[in-house]
């Protein structure tokens, strides 16, 4: 245990040896919606018989899986678990002041190392579940709309598994992220970890619906960030910077009127262009060349396109704030819904966590979250 962290190394999640933990200077974990969680560990280095003391440490070698676990109250929670992808170092004359920095990502990076060509039938969510199981994740998928077959409407992969799953998430207005559930037996150093790969809408919303809906936010009662509480109550936020984009939550419809007294609505504002003549394709001897027909969208694809616009444009409040694990009382991470209290009538309400930067030092566990909301003065 160091810095309020339990750090493990290897597939068996063995605790990092005390000699390394005692050299730890800082741990950083960067989290963001639908992006890999990245981490960095900086260690003090020195010279030992004219060689760097941490020059060849197997616990920090490339592709070694590192786990970072924090205690939130009495609950052990996993910040990130994944392989080392990069090692940086700096040597200072004489040795003291030298350092080694280990960088890594969650295990999504393992899905992006090999290109794959495959064809799937059924729904995209079914294909994603099969891929996630192959990497020993516990899949948590939300059913997608479109049904694919092996004939004309195929679901074809020509990319890495990571790129393919991320593309399917984008096309279906879903997010792809990894969540963790950690458990440790009393007086035991071993940690049991369940890695759940989520392929879902975030915030949760049903698909399909009659019309695309603005996401509804409801925060649990134990996730409250207090900005300026009444005297006698402690604030849980040190910094609170809000940005409200008043141009974003607006709908626009184009129309025009005639200048005559009847003020008739003009149905055709811009004259449509002449269609491309397929016969005008420049010929090449020995090669059959045809114009690519315009894509056609079915009912499900049309719904997803409209939903993507509604969802993206609905987020117009963004808050950048700072807290600590001790102040907040819970581990802040993306996809959570939190309640902001005592920030005024307009800015108090439910928010979703977009990003969270965790910086753990010997003195404290600092957290810099970025929140977003799709309304002002929302109820809890």
Q: Which residue has better confidence, 253 or 285? A: 285
Tokens of 331: 């581990």
Phi and psi of 246, rounded to 5°?
-80, -10
Query: What value does the mean pLDDT take over residues 280-287?
Result: 80
Cβ neighbours of 169 (radius 10 Å)? 21
Helix ranges, the chain (H) = 18-21, 124-134, 161-171, 299-314, 325-328
Query: What value does the mean pLDDT take over residues 163-167?
Result: 96
Distance CA 35, CA 202 (A): 13
Numbered ranges of CATH 2.40.30.150 in the chain: 224-249+312-373
Sheet containing strand 138-141, strands side by side: 138-141, 192-200, 175-183
pLDDT in tens, 63-108: 999 999 998 878 889 999 999 999 998 887 766 788 889 999 999 9
The length of the chain in residues reads 380
Q: Which fold has domain 224-249+312-373?
A: Elongation Factor Tu (Ef-tu); domain 3 (2.40.30)
pLDDT category at 1 given cuts 50, 70, 90 is very low
Distance CA 14, CA 190 (A): 7
Tokens of 361: 């030092």
pLDDT in tens, 172-193: 999 999 999 998 877 667 789 9
Single out the residue of 2, 101, 16, 33 nearest to residue 370, CA to CA.
33
pLDDT of residue 344 exceeding 70: yes
Phi and psi of 327, rounded to 5°?
-70, -50
Cβ neighbours of 269 (radius 10 Å)? 9
Distance CA 95, CA 99 (A): 9
The superfamily in CATH containing domain 5-105 is Baseplate protein-like domain - beta roll fold (2.30.300.10)
pLDDT category at 251 given cuts 50, 70, 90 is very low
Numbered ranges of CATH 2.30.300.10 in the chain: 5-105
**Burial grade of 70 (CB within 10 A; 0-12, 13-18, 19 or more):** buried
pLDDT of residue 119 exceeding 70: yes
pLDDT category at 9 given cuts 50, 70, 90 is very high
Please state the pTM of the whole predicted model: 0.83
Pick the CATH number of 111-200 from 3.10.450, 3.55.50, 3.40.50, 1.10.287: 3.55.50
Numbered ranges of CATH 3.55.50 in the chain: 111-200
Distance CA 145, CA 57 (A): 49
pLDDT in tens, 192-216: 999 999 999 999 887 766 667 778 8
Cβ neighbours of 371 (radius 10 Å)? 24
pLDDT score of 367: 97
pLDDT score of 249: 54
Long-range contacts at 59-63 (CB < 8 A, ≥ 24 apart): 59/9, 59/10, 59/16, 59/17, 59/20, 60/9, 60/20, 60/84, 60/87, 60/100, 60/102, 62/87
Single out the residue of 188, 271, 244 nearest to residue 12, CA to CA.
188
pLDDT category at 269 given cuts 50, 70, 90 is very low
pLDDT above 90 as % of the chain: 54
**What is the three-class DSSP state of 50?**
coil
**What is the three-class DSSP state of 334?**
coil
């Amino acid at each position: 245990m160091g810095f309020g962290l339990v750090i493990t190394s290897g597939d068996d999640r063995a605790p990092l040896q005390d000699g390394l933990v005692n050299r730890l200077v800082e741990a950083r974990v960067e989290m963001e919606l639908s992006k890999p969680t990245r981490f960095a560990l900086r260690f003090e280095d020195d010279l030992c018989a004219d060689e760097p003391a941490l020059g060849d440490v197997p616990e920090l070698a490339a592709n070694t899986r590192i786990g970072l676990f924090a205690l939130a109250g009495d609950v052990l929670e996993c910040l990130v678990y994944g392989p080392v992808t990069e090692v940086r170092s700096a040597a200072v004359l004489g040795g003291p002041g030298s350092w080694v920095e280990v960088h890594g990502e969650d295990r999504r990076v393992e899905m992006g190392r090999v290109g794959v060509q495959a064809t799937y039938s059924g729904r995209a969510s079914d294909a994603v579940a099969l891929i996630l199981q192959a990497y020993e994740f516990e899949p948590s998928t939300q059913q997608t709309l479109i049904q694919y077959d092996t004939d004309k409407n195929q679901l074809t992969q020509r990319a890495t598994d990571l790129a393919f799953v991320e593309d399917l998430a984008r096309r279906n207005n879903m997010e792809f992220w990894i969540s963790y559930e950690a458990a440790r037996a009393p007086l035991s150093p071993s940690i049991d970890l369940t890695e759940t790969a989520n392929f879902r809408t975030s915030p949760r919303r049903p698909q399909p619906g009659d019309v695309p809906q603005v996401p509804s936010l409801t925060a649990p009662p134990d996730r409250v960030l207090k900005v300026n509480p009444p005297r006698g109550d402690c604030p849980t936020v040190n910094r609170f910077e809000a940005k409200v984009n008043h141009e974003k939550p607006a709908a626009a419809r184009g129309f025009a009127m005639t200048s005559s007294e009847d003020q008739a609505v003009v149905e055709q504002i811009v004259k449509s262009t002449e269609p491309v003549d397929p016969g005008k394709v420049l010929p090449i001897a020995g090669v059959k060349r045809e114009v690519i027909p315009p894509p056609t969208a079915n009912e499900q694809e049309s719904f997803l396109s409209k939903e993507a616009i509604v969802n993206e444009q609905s987020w117009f409040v963004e808050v950048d704030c700072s807290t600590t694990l001790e102040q907040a009382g819970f581990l802040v991470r993306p996809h959570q819904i939190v309640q902001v209290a005592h920030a005024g009538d307009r800015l108090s309400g439910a928010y979703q966590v977009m990003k969270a930067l965790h910086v753990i030092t010997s003195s404290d566990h600092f957290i810099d979250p970025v929140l977003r909301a799709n309304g002002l003065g929302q109820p809890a």
